[in-house]
Amino acid sequence: MPEVGLDLPRTRDVLVEELQDLPVQLVHGDKCTSVTAVLRGRGDGPVVLLRSDMDALPITERTGLPYAVPGPAMHACGHDLHMSALVGALRLLASREFDGTVIAAFQPGEEGHGGAALMLAEGLLDVAGPPPIAAYALHVIADLPSGVVHGRSGPIMAAYGILDVEITGRGAHGGRPHEGADPVPVLAETVTALHSYVDRRFDAFDPVVLTVGELRAGHAPNVIADSATLRAGVRTFSETNTARVAAELPRLVENLAAAHGITATAVVRPVMGPTINDPAAAALVAATAVRMFGPDRYVELARPRAGSEDFSEILRRVPGAFLYVGAADGESPAGNHSPLSRFDDRVLPDAAGLLAALALHHLTPERHR
């Protein structure tokens, strides 16, 4: 039952039904259909947060699977598996004795809708009383080997922002360009300047990935337009470069327009921050995966993936780790966000067990693990 965005009433209702038989306190969001389940142990102890996203994508499914849903939405990023894994983790944890509390956060609006920030603003980190000492989340990947866990210390996913530019000139007849101030050459030069800037001003080992995806100007071939616009996606892998591009790219655009005697306004609108794993938490993920599944089923990533994830907002406040679980189903699998994305749901027991084990590491004495 895929639903898109922040308002997922059917998804919420199914989750609530699945959680009814567990000894959890349920907290519902006011500004989105989030569900937070608080599972308390036998006594005082630390708080650990586990998170699953809930939302689907506005993609029409073309997998041909017998359970494929018709219509304009699809769980092409595997968030349905994430919800199942976290419910499974709660069932496992409810069957164990531990000291402390587990917060299970089911979050809508991960796909660029700011769901994590909304849940944090509504008190996610305070819902159990003391704030969490650790936070974990996993993500299934449709084109990585099924059942293999992938992780790394430090950056694991990129920040994502959108550079919005408007260049304002002065319209004129195409046969008399000297009577106007043409924004189109400035627009073209801006594209080149942006790519040169990020290539030459940023460290290649802490890169900036910029993609100009939208250019708009004018409505006729013989008319000089009054204005032109540009939109670009910008990805960074550190908080330092995320701040730098927000300050430096607009200044570059505005100064370039000024050199041509016209004006430009530019702003980088942040969408998601960089997902940065705490070194100790990342080491725990690696050790736990190897202990549970064997060394052949854990891979240390040499570099981050360039997608983005708003679990980054939680990791800005709580030390923790984000990890991948391969879920390739069949030969030549399509990646996430494809209408052909298929996920091997046989990974779910291990995904649930891994989440539960990460929480128990913080909540049980060494001799009981």
123 and 60 part of one domain: yes
**What tens digit of pLDDT does each residue of 333-361 get?**
999 999 999 999 999 999 999 999 999 99
d(C-alpha 336, C-alpha 147), whole Å = 16
The first and second tokens of residue 287, run together, are 């050790």
Minimal CA–CA distance to 105: which of 34, 40, 10, 48?
34
137 and 13 part of one domain: yes
Which of 245, 272, 299 is where one domain is finished?
272
Domain count, the chain: 2
Residue linked to tokens 């308390």: 40
33 and 126 part of one domain: yes
Residue 303 lies in a domain: yes
**What tens digit of pLDDT does each residue of 72-115 get?**
999 999 999 999 999 999 999 999 999 999 999 999 999 999 99
Residue 3 lies in a domain: no
Structural domain for 323, as ranges? 9-156+274-368
pTM here is: 0.91
d(C-alpha 81, C-alpha 92), whole Å = 16
Query: What is the domain-level CATH number for residue 220?
Result: 3.30.70.360
- Residue 157 CA, distance from chain mean position: 8
**What tens digit of pLDDT does each residue of 194-244 get?**
999 999 999 999 999 999 999 999 999 999 999 999 999 999 999 999 999
Evaluate whether 343 touches 329 at the Cβ level (below 8 Å).
yes
Residue 207 lies in a domain: yes
Buried b (16+ CB within 10 A) or exposed e, 224-258: bbbbbbbebbbbbbbeebbebbbebbbebbbebbe
DSSP state of 111: T
Residue 325 lies in a domain: yes
Partners of 163 in the β-ladder = 232, 268
